[in-house]
């Protein structure tokens, strides 16, 4: 590579600056940042479960590094809900 450094600077494409710079154009996907998966949730008919499962939608708007916290929170809530099914129901006086 005998000193070839590519095209002169004035021939190189310039990155846009200012408002909207770096935002995707129509038909393009953003390069970085969170993108919703678009996975729909069907209601289970159990309000407490549906509430926990809706929490998964929060991950759509977070960076990947924050997904684990959401998943663990949902998992913990689902475990609590399932564990409550095993507890004996006693009538209150």
User: Does 66 map to a domain?
Assistant: yes
User: Does 47 map to a domain?
Assistant: yes
User: Does 13 map to a domain?
Assistant: no
Model confidence over 18-68: pLDDT tens digits?
444 445 556 655 566 667 777 778 898 989 889 888 888 888 888 888 889
Q: What's the whole-model pTM score?
A: 0.54
What's the whole-number mean pLDDT along residues 74-92? 87
User: Does 70 map to a domain?
Assistant: yes
User: Does 17 map to a domain?
Assistant: no
User: Does 24 map to a domain?
Assistant: no
User: Does 15 map to a domain?
Assistant: no
User: Does 22 map to a domain?
Assistant: no
Query: Domain limits at 73?
Result: 41-87
Q: Spell out the SS3 assignment of the chain.
A: CCCCCCCCHHHCCCCCCCCCCCCCCCCCCCCCCCCCCCCCCCCCCCHHHHHHHHHHHHHHHCCHHHHHHHHHHHHHHHHHHHHHHHCCCCCCC
* Count of structural domains, the chain: 1
């Amino acid at each position: 590579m005998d000193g070839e450094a590519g095209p002169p600077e004035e021939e190189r494409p310039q990155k846009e600056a200012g408002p909207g710079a770096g935002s995707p154009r129509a038909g393009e996907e953003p390069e970085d940042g969170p993108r919703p998966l678009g996975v729909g949730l069907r209601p289970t008919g159990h309000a407490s479960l549906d509430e926990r499962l809706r929490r998964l939608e929060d991950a759509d708007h977070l960076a990947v590094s924050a997904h684990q916290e959401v998943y663990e929170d949902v998992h913990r809530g689902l475990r609590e809900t399932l564990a409550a099914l095993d507890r004996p129901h006693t009538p209150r006086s």
